[in-house]
Chain A
């Protein structure tokens, strides 16, 4: 087997050195009757060429050749080839968690730079080394607010990503948290009156997503003020990070939970991505996840270490802030390289292109008879339109034109049947937008 660096003679020699007659002797502590006698029934062994062949065949069964207008928490953005060149360097790819600081300064400094970039983007003071993804980061942010306030009630905007809310509910069920939803208004933003009515002095956190699941940009000031007046923490989740190149960051937030997929990570059918928690310095000891900190070595040189580890499971065991052991280091590194490549101007320009193209797409779609805009609040690169018929049926027709249509909202929001969430990024060309509009027009012209 090509991955195993031993010849039969070497195996024999090593067994001899151990003093074992056969390899089976090394497994003698496993009761005889439980030892497998037959080979496992799994395909292989495959040569490298066969492995590639298998996955190429599967890739061909997917959506190659289609133009997509899907977003909803996972976005197609341009990625420089430099990012992959860096993260495939063995020194990053095949390195362990940087517990041995002297020989992992590369990973540690990159994490420190990641933490800095995340602070700059979110307008917060401190950010961790990353979490699994946006959904778990948001959930951990809520648990953090619970620890900080000692309260148990959580108000979550219904305009937060439906899957994020589901994850929160799974975690809440067993930790005694009571989660309630705050509706959205006709303009698509959080209903601040409903929030005001639900806010009492038992609320640990108010959770708002911006841009929200409908692409709408929330106005934080009043929501945060009301939350703070009741003694709760204002938690903002960001699923589309590129928006922060154009949209004012949620400076009013006590905790920001962000999904980093938009920063150089491919959609990859839903993962791996990188979540982030950013917050205020004063809350850092209740923050979950790894943190890299700057320090000096015994000769006074600058260096970096994992720090404040006493918050974590391997020390605090059952009293830890979270059971999470890992971050998404390689994904965070990809985000760090990607954002460094984009830089100040590149990120701004990318965000502006998303914004302009989404505006253009909306105006094109609104020219089609029967298509209406659902929410009138400002949006970033996603917006909701109402179609005269079932979105799923229309999308089935669009597939004939090699177009993957917008996300149908009816499943997660029964009140929004016939509504579709359209996403346009800098990767969507004008021609594709026009082709989509044309195909949609034709689909709607056909008799039902």
Chain B
């Protein structure tokens, strides 16, 4: 490694087995207060056939062992709290700690979804204010906060479109999806009962508007578009695209995954979008937590409002807020209870901290992406040259000549103390390096990242082997994914005794 490069971190490599391997009968980490009612005899009252014996293999450890076990595991993770996380399309920004604090308050975390609504006005006001803020940011007319994640938001959005078209007499058959789209788009369209027709992007990576004109037939229910696209490029002709669809009675769905490029600068509602979802764990900073929980509110135009999932939040004449469980044209319920409330609380805390200043966050995110692009252009191949918004997509074409691909570069980045960028996506860029720094990175951190990328490019030319076998400094080396998939081991099992092994 180039000695001049300052590493952003070093990894801690403590050894730790599985918790089940530490277990020893009779140890415990949790005690309950003594039972203050007569003990009922389960064998009698429950019936012997329902009674369970102790769970075989269930852990028996002490509190310090539990704490130490999970703390050690935690040291094997990279995290935003440790450094830059330039995963394109994932918007890994700072997760403010105050959001965690307020989500755990007594009176917030403790509330039961079935408690009387007169004792839930605080919860409902939080939901109401979040609705208003998100409507203002998106320029839409109505919203549902219920979907549990972006993918469920997408499904909800498509079901709204379907219900609206059905009400007009014909749900139609097809959903158009650009080839640059995220894989959830087509998967969701199928779940909503639609056939998928892929549209090829034009040479600049934008939607081919002329081709679209021909593709929008009376069979087409909607176009699902990501804006900015997964190339990090704003779809400049989006108002025209909306007009083409609307003229044929079809609707425009926008995947809001990249809203971090737009918040406070422009509004999808003004651009002609009919319905969109937001990933609160991206733009609105709720923690990814290693892969969830998220929340995927869906904002829409007035025409889709009657079809919103139940329950819907309404304001009574008295000024009281209420969740209404029944609406005649609703697409139904997409999740039990009223959404991932705890995630919604965190998103509102984030928005309140910024207020209208959310625009500054957007500007800084775009500034960072363009700063990195400027410094890495020429070092890495830039297949699409239109202006970048919040992320930039390079390809590994220059490094491939030396047998180094995007995954190798990504893995080598780990040795420099960074999380890799997104590899091999979008699909329309072979060997893609998709970099999204977000607004949370200082100039210093961006410079470190740029230096690391340049150094890796140099290594790819002079010492490709070190890149191809990376990472070298992590607790584990590259893992055998083929073996894992051929002979899946998906759970721990107690060591088998001889009699068990015999049958």
Contact = CB atoms under 8 A, between A and B. Distances in A.
A429 B36 CA distance: 7
A430 B37 CA distance: 6
Given A70-B115, A342-B30, A344-B54, A23 B352 contact: no
B363 interface: yes
Interface stretch (B56-64, B211-219, B395-403): B56-64
Contact of A36 (B38, B155, B265): B265
B10 to A, nearest CB: 12
A80 B414 CA distance: 35
A197 interface: no
Contacts of A54: 352
Nearest to B57: A120
A36 to B, nearest CB: 6
A185 interface: no
A446 interface: no
A94 B289 CA distance: 5
A252 interface: no
A149 interface: no
Interface residues of B, number: 199
Given A344-B60, A355-B40, A325 B184 contact: yes
Nearest to A169: B332
Given A343-B61, A395-B116, A36 B488 contact: no
Given A26-B387, A51-B98, A136-B152, 15 more contacts: A14-B371, A51-B353, A66-B119, A88-B100, A94-B289, A112-B18, A169-B333, A217-B50, A247-B46, A247-B51, A267-B112, A271-B342, A296-B480, A343-B29, A360-B40
Interface string A234-263: 000000000011111100000000000000
B405 interface: no
Interface in A109-158: 109-113, 115-117, 119-121, 125-127, 129-130, 132-136
Interface stretch (B125-133, B245-253, B458-466): B125-133
Interface stretch (B297-305, B354-362, B495-503): B354-362
Interface of B is mostly: loop
Interface residues of A, number: 199
Given A98-B290, A295-B479, A248 B414 contact: no
Interface in B183-208: 183-184, 186-193, 196
Given A269-B111, A346-B30, A323 B184 contact: yes
Contact of A356 (B35, B292, B339): B35
26 contacts: A11-B364, A26-B370, A42-B351, A43-B352, A64-B110, A80-B63, A93-B289, A95-B288, A101-B479, A105-B73, A107-B290, A109-B16, A113-B19, A120-B55, A127-B490, A170-B159, A175-B191, A245-B55, A249-B52, A271-B293, A271-B340, A272-B293, A295-B484, A314-B182, A342-B29, A343-B27
A268 B192 CA distance: 29
A90 B291 contact: no
Contacts of B165: none
A29 B183 contact: no
Contacts of A74: 112-114, 337
B376 interface: no
Given A35-B266, A325-B150, A42 B73 contact: no
A293 B483 CA distance: 10
A330 B290 contact: yes
Contacts of B411: 100, 102
A265 to B, nearest CB: 9
B166 to A, nearest CB: 10
A104 interface: yes
Contact of B111 (A34, A42, A62, A120): A62
A407 B113 CA distance: 11
Residue among A60, A267, A299 with most chain B CB within 10 A: A267
B364 A31 contact: no
Nearest to B85: A96
Contacts of A101: 476, 479, 481
Contacts of A342: 29-30
B59 A45 contact: no
Interface in B68-85: 69-71, 73-82, 85
Contacts of B154: 323
Contacts of B287: 93-94, 330
Q: Which 8 interchain pairs have the tightest Cβ spacing?
A: A44-B355, A270-B337, A59-B107, A330-B289, A90-B81, A272-B293, A61-B122, A170-B332
Contacts of A248: 49-52
B278 interface: no
